[in-house]
Chain A
Amino acid sequence: MLLPFDYVRAGTREDAVNLAIEAGHTGSFLAGGTDLFVRMYDRQLRPKTLIDLKAIEGIEGIEHQNGEGLSIGAASPLNMLVRNKFIRSEYGLLAQAAHSVGSLQVRNRASIGGNICNASPAADTAPALLVYEAEIETWGPKSSRLIPISEFFTGPGKTVLEKGEFVYKIRLPKNDTQSYGVYLKLGRTDSVDLSIVSVACLAFASGEVRIALGAVAPTPIRAREAESVLLNSKDDEAIAQAASLAREMAVPISDIRAGEEYRLEMTEVMAGNAIRQALSGLAAIREVK
């Protein structure tokens, strides 16, 4: 059972902002609800008003235009991303990350916007969005903003979103060269569980390699120092050094899923694996062409 609240449906972006201002601090935006309802069920959150965003035009759906990159409505359920052919071929790492969330049932409801707005350090789509250098288009009382994903998270459960501001779209820039991405997630089980450590690695034909880590810091993070090692060399020694630098950037906690030391060890192991898999995947698709 859920405690009583008022459900209101926003018809437009302006409507959503006004409803949020009206509801004040007892209001909460609703997209898929798969995290929100769990917290309400557990009485961690007791909102008095839920503002459903799903009826707003453009907040659900995936758009891509040639040479323009990708635009994803924030309330798009994760399975929409997983099944989208364009995302699977051009932004495969994002499809993998979306696919690793929860269960099939959860992915039919859980939205990509909700995944990042909850700002869990373990949010699976966050490392993917970090390596694709996504921008978060928000709508709020003052104006619309475009926030780089690297500046979006400020701590566990915390983002730069202001009162009454919500995420409208997530924009991914066009990939200029061929790329191959890998998302590795370590959980206690293959499904449903949150990640203990996760690593996203995106290798470009230009030689650039991007790495992001999940569940090992207060927010999902880019491991830029590890990336820079791989600019000049991609031999075993460089990969080992990059993996070790990824470990140095991790500042994990111990919790019910794993201890700090285990997380550190796994960060290094998984970063190495992710880099190797991304590089060999890239080499394979370049051979085909």
Chain B
Amino acid sequence: MTHRIEMTVNGEPVRAEVSSQMRLLDFLREELDLTGAKEGCGKGECGACTVLVDGEPVNSCLMLAVEANGKEVLTVEGLGEGDRLDSIQQSIIDNSALQCGYCTPGIVMSAKGLLLRNPNPTRDEVVEAISGNLCRCTGYARVIDAIMQVSASSDSQEEGSER
């Protein structure tokens, strides 16, 4: 069975026909060529596939493309403007908060979801926000530092605001 769906992905309207079983993750990667969201476990435990749906972080491996019909999806490719990185991305680089990078897009999107909802989180709130994102190389200390630094430096809630 196929379905006609319409959604907004990274600010752009998208129309497509998808099969019932196509996950949002597959749709983004295979149909839209947005490969920032990664498949790690496929079971909602690792968070590498995290994207924002209507501003909230979700595991795109546990959501069907057809369920995202009418929704607004934001992936890591939709952050920043042109060559300018989002402040979270820049802070991850500045803090060397990655090694292999596989988990990074998911962590960035979890952080984005947190800061959209709560521009000045506590350290505990940052820890909670990335509790569904597994990193198996670098650990979490630098990641948490990086997210804390963004929240400390951004006085406004503007998206992609300069640090």
* Interface, chain A (partner B; CB < 8 A): 1-8, 33-34, 37-38, 41-42, 50, 52, 54, 79, 102-106, 108-109, 190-192
- Verify if B38 is at the interface (C-beta below 8 Å from A): no
A-B contact pairs, 25 of them (CB 8 A): A4-B19, A4-B20, A7-B3, A7-B64, A8-B1, A34-B62, A38-B44, A41-B61, A102-B44, A103-B132, A103-B133, A104-B113, A104-B129, A105-B50, A105-B58, A105-B110, A106-B59, A108-B53, A108-B58, A109-B58, A109-B62, A190-B131, A191-B128, A191-B131, A192-B131
- In the complex, what distance in Å separates the CA atom of A263 from the CA atom of B3? 47
Contact between B62 and A37, CB atoms less than 8 A apart: yes
Evaluate whether A5 and B59 lie within 8 angstroms (CB atoms) in the complex, with A103-B132, A105-B50 already known: no
Min distance, Cβ B149 to any Cβ of chain A, angstroms: 20
Min distance, Cβ A186 to any Cβ of chain B, angstroms: 17
Interface centre among B26, B47, B62 (most CB of A within 10 A): B62
Min distance, Cβ A77 to any Cβ of chain B, angstroms: 9
For the residues of B in contact with A, the DSSP-based class is mixed
Interface footprint category on B: 20 to 34
- Verify if B45 is at the interface (C-beta below 8 Å from A): yes
Beyond A34-B62, A106-B132, A192-B132, 7 extra complex contacts between A and B, CB < 8 Å: A7-B20, A7-B64, A38-B43, A103-B45, A104-B131, A190-B131, A191-B128
- Which residues, 47 to 69 on B, are CB-close (under 8 Å) to A? 47, 50, 53, 56-59, 61-64, 66-67
Contact between B59 and A109, CB atoms less than 8 A apart: yes
Contact between A33 and B62, CB atoms less than 8 A apart: yes
- Verify if B42 is at the interface (C-beta below 8 Å from A): yes
Min distance, Cβ B143 to any Cβ of chain A, angstroms: 15
Contact between B56 and A79, CB atoms less than 8 A apart: yes
Contact between B21 and A3, CB atoms less than 8 A apart: yes
* Chain A residues within an 8 Å CB radius of B112: none
- In the complex, what distance in Å separates the CA atom of A109 from the CA atom of B129? 15
Contact between A33 and B64, CB atoms less than 8 A apart: yes
Contact between A105 and B67, CB atoms less than 8 A apart: no
Interface centre among A8, A33, A42 (most CB of B within 10 A): A33
Interface centre among B44, B45, B56, B67 (most CB of A within 10 A): B44
Min distance, Cβ A47 to any Cβ of chain B, angstroms: 10
* Chain A residues within an 8 Å CB radius of B26: 1
Closest A residue to B59 by beta carbon equals: A105
- In the complex, what distance in Å separates the CA atom of A251 from the CA atom of B128? 33
Min distance, Cβ A110 to any Cβ of chain B, angstroms: 9
Contact between B57 and A105, CB atoms less than 8 A apart: yes
* Chain B residues within an 8 Å CB radius of A102: 44, 132
Evaluate whether A108 and B131 lie within 8 angstroms (CB atoms) in the complex, with A38-B43, A102-B44 already known: no
Contact between A191 and B43, CB atoms less than 8 A apart: no
- Binary A-proximity of B19-34 (CB < 8 A = 1, otherwise 0): 1110100100000000
Evaluate whether A4 and B21 lie within 8 angstroms (CB atoms) in the complex, with A38-B62, A106-B59, A108-B56 already known: yes
